Structure 1
Amino acid sequence: MSIRVRFAPSPTGFMHVGNARTALFNYLFAKHNDGKLILRIEDTDLERHSEEAVNVIYEALKWMGISWDEGPNIGGDYGPYRQSERLDIYKRYIEELKNKGLVYECFCTPEELDAMRKEQLERGEPPRYTGKCRNLTEKEKERFKAEGRKPVLRFKVPEDRVIKFKDLIKGEIEIHSRQLGGDFVLVRSNGMPVYNFVVVIDDALMKISHVIRGEDHISNTPKQILLYEALGFSIPQFAHLPMILGTDRSKLSKRHGSTSVKEFRDKGYLSESFTNFLALLGWYPKDGKEILSMEELIERFDIKDVNSAPAVFDTTKLNWMNQVYIRAYPIDKLTDFIIPYLEKVGFEVSKFDRSWLEKVVEVTRDYLTVLSEAPIYMETFLKDDFEIEEEAKKFVLENEVRLKVVETFYVKVENLDEELSSEKFKQIVKEVGKELKAKGKNLFMPVRIALTGKMKGVELDILISLLGKERVLKRISNSLSQLANKSN
């Protein structure tokens, strides 16, 4: 059998991590089985639709390394791949259902439906449509139309039927037709077909072999199976992915932090680590290896190994994984990714030599959890004109030896007739300590403060080796001016 799966998002303006995980699992399943992934845009909600929202989907998928074989922007043999361009197709199949006597017009108003639900709930019954309009006469229909009522079109649900299907993740599932809420709507009063109808038409005509989606769609599956049967279509295999929960075991939402792919991208998560992390939400490789490239994920992925229990979105684990990728990433590409974050906070990156900048990235990347943190750690290397923190000023000035350490260090560096290397720095500090009988915090901390304005930071010998003599003198001169003003 030819494997064909689809990812069919609605263009809402962002890509939720749940949708991203669904897209990824469809992609991994297709590629593992030499199949095809079809991208279909479900844009029948014209009020919410925008081309910008469609582009958000394209960009999110491409960033994650997911490519598709057929879709709106590349075509294919089973298009169009936007539902808004398939309305004439849906009409043909509505007519077929009408001819078979499987649908009927329903003129119930929203108020009548609300009253129906309320009565059922008061009797302790689950809400369901009673079939009130199933057997209307032509005369009754005409009267309702004369009143200005616009009907919906409902599908006749069999009275006593158990719908069974084997879910590749959940196992055997049985749902009785009484649990479907009665005859369900196929076409709204404005003439627009609903999800459960159009998805069946699209999946059937696009020859989708496996429908892999979130478990919130399980309740839709029996309705869709009834439609597949009514139209004489082959029924695909279903696999419903487990829910994604926050660490508090509630459904993942904004209160847990970022939930869209763009938010994670903007914060500075690498696409490889984000995709790797998503793959482990509900699935785990048999060999236990967690850091996996896309090629390794494709090789190992088996839908049968997906867990039916909910998956927990553990940001701590994502952060760890991102750190692993940052530390192993090619330094030139990592620098390219970091530069926009530096420019965003005002650094004029173009004035720095590229190879020097890459060295700064190299020595600071071990501190990073996400790339947006880069300016915090790289500022020490990039900014010569800084303000000394108040606590740091106080530390230097509360002991006259500490200020003398800074002054003596400056003179020794100024008198150097060679470049200030890491080894030379250590030698000078040793000399200063010996002359002033200073050691430990009284020796190294004043130098750190004079060079960075802070009491914590990267190793000083690393900093010195990248700054060079001229910038070291400039920084210490600036610091001594601030300390002199403070002491007066």
Structure 2
Amino acid sequence: MQSFIQKTPIARFCTKETVRVRFAPSPTGFLHLGGLRTALYNYFFAKSRNGAFILRIEDTDQSRLVEGAIEQLQRDLDWAGVQIDEGPSTGGCYGPYIQSQRLHIYRGHVETLLNNGSAYHCFCTEKRLELLRREAIRVREVPKYDNRCRSLNPQEVGEKLAQGIPSCVRFKLVAGVQSYLDLIYGGFNYDVAANEGDPVIVKSDGFPTYHFANVIDDHLMKISHVLRGVEWQISTPKHIMMYRAFNWEPPLFGHLPLLMNPDGSKLSKRQGDIRIGHYRDQGIFPLALINFIASSGGGFGKDSEQNVKPKCYTIGELTRQFDVCRINAHSGKLMPERLFDFNRLELKRKLEDSEEGEKLVEEVREMVKKHFPGDSLQLGSEHVRNILHWSVNRVTKLPDLLSDDLKFIWVSPKSYKIAENDLVPIRIFVEKLDKQVLERDNLNAFFKSFCKEHQLKFGSFMKTLRSLLSGLKEGPSVAEMMEILGKENTIERLHACIKNNK
């Protein structure tokens, strides 16, 4: 078999008449940042070319399945705004879209490779394979299968199969450097046979391995472009060999560079804080997370690059900006502070949209009810909306509004008991406050003037007002509290104090 060498310039290599891409996760855990980045880039690529985005579940490793992972994957993609054109729930013309439901398809295709001499039965036991691994390590070589069963003649294979000896099926690798043109990295050369033994394509339990099922499914589902993590780059020559063994045309391949932690270390699935569910639970908006990912590896117009002031783009805007040829070939570092910038920008964008703003008000109302059950709450629409506008540049995410020092925003203090000699000044204060503009600088000047006029100790009076308005000993300044609560709520709380101390 000849080496596959793609000499087409990258600009043309990026194009095919009909674009069909797939996101093919294994349900061995929950969706994380790296997986969402792969899904998003495939989605942007497809939609920017009027193509189709397919979700395929690769569950051939049955020993590692996590219950409920498939359903959660789909919920996470839906939350992020990634619309699936074909998949387990949406259906399509090329299903089933779960690999464990396609075993009959793989069995038929492995027979093709066995018959044309591109694959063979392997009867080596796990004990023998382990001895090979140990010996390779002892002599400081890369452990790999020695292709022993390649040399078995048809009669020997038939006899062993007739005896019921367990076997797997391996694919015959072709010696020599294999080359292909990567959409992102350019020319890539790798001698698979020099570094690996013939790979298993169907295990002894009848389930295909990733490499085999992946090739079959991509061909039958008419996948035009494969965008996946860079960890699969050295496997691509092997996959191209399989395409050639079937006499099929391979799709075009592009490999996405790694996403890194701020310290340069690799993201790990064991990091609980890279799960999509973690960001959702922490109050991060979907578009904020998407822009955070998009800003960490290129692929978009110059105005979304890191040296420009952040803007939280919609999915439609990111789709129009997307260009696979702009993706950086080097790893991208995630900067957590940028995520909070995007979240603030998204909060602001939602508030500026009347429909989105109403949904946001209702979301906050439900969030507060859940967090402060049984309390007497102030949740009028105007109050909630005012709080949200106030919070745009002060909090990073909505749950921050539930912190202890901001509880007073929603919950009126339960105790209004104050010293009798403070009651008269409070009555006078309320009458004069009604004529004031509740703006911080103006209020601070008013407080000082009032205390001086009525011979009150400024610190002591502020302490009393703070207690009446919030029940807190510490927190925002009294002027800021009043500004946050608004004139109506502030005066209402002070009147309640007067009423309860008659």
What TM-score comes out, normalization by structure 1 length? 0.85
Of 222, 226, 239, the residue aligned with 1:207 is 222
Question: 1:435 is matched by which residue type in structure 2?
Answer: H
CA positional deviation for 1:255 = 7.0
Deviation at residue 473 of structure 1 after TM alignment: 4.2
The whole-number CA distance in structure 2 between the counterparts of 1:47 and 1:177 is 27
* 8 Å CA contact retained: 1:157, 1:177: yes
Match of 2:100 in 1: 84
Q: Are 2:386 and 1:359 equivalent residues in the alignment?
A: yes
Residues 28-65 of structure 1: per-residue CA shift (max 9 Å, x gap): 11111222111112223345546732221111111111
Q: How does 1:87-486 map to 2 (within 5 A)?
A: 87-136=103-152, 149-158=165-174, 160-253=175-268, 258-283=273-298, 285-289=300-304, 290-291=310-311, 292-330=313-351, 331-347=357-373, 352-376=379-403, 378-385=406-413, 407-412=423-428, 416=431, 422=437, 426=443, 430-439=449-458, 441=459, 443-452=461-470, 453-457=472-476, 459-462=480-483, 463-474=485-496
CA distance in 1, matches of 2:423, 2:448: 12
C-alpha separation in 2, matches of 1:339 and 1:355: 11
- Shift in Å at residue 215 of structure 1? 0.4
Identity fraction in percent: 33
Give CA deviations for 1:295-353 in whole Å, capped at 9, x if unaligned.
Answer: 21111110000001111121111112112222332232222333343233234688733
Query: Counterpart amino acid of 1:282?
Result: G
Q: 2: distance between equivalents of 1:115 and 1:408?
A: 92
User: How far did residue 443 of structure 1 move?
Assistant: 4.8
For 1:105 and 1:17, locate their aligned partners in 2 and report how far apart those are by CA, in whole Å.
39
- Give the 3-state SS of the residue equivalent to 2:466 in structure 1: helix
Give the superposed CA RMSD. Answer: 3.2
* Alignment TM-score, normalising by the size of structure 2: 0.83
Q: Is the 8 A contact 1:103 1:156 kept in 2?
A: yes
Whole-Å separation in 2 of the counterparts to 1:237 and 1:387: 70
Paired positions, count: 464
The alpha-carbon deviation at position 423 of structure 1 amounts to: 5.3
Determine the C-alpha separation between the residues in 2 that align with 1:367 and 1:405: 37
CA deviations over 1:388-409 (Å, ceiling 9, x no partner): 9xxxxxxx9xxxxxx8995554
Query: Unaligned regions of 5+ residues in structure 1, if any?
Result: 389-395, 397-402, 481-488
Partner secondary structure for residue 238 of structure 1: strand
Letter in 1 for 2:409: F
Task: Specify the alignment match of 2:79 in structure 1.
Answer: 63
- Secondary structure of the corresponding residue to residue 31 of structure 2: coil
Unaligned runs of 5+ in 2: 1-16, 305-309, 352-356
Whichever residue aligns with residue 332 of structure 2, its letter is: A
8 Å contact kept, 2:23–2:39: yes
Kindly state the Cα deviation for residue 362 of structure 1 after the two structures are TM-superposed: 2.8
Alignment partners' CA distance in 2, 1:421 and 1:256: 52
Q: Closer, same or farther in 2 for the Cα pair 1:207/1:298, shift >3 Å?
A: same
CA shift, 1:410, in A, is 2.8
Partner-residue secondary structure (3-state), 1:213? strand
Letter in 2 for 1:371: L
> How far did 1:235 drift?
0.8
Q: CA deviation at 1:445?
A: 4.7
The alpha-carbon distance between structure 1 residues 65 and 135, as it changes in their structure 2 partners (threshold 3 A), is: same
Moved more, 169-178 or 322-331: 322-331
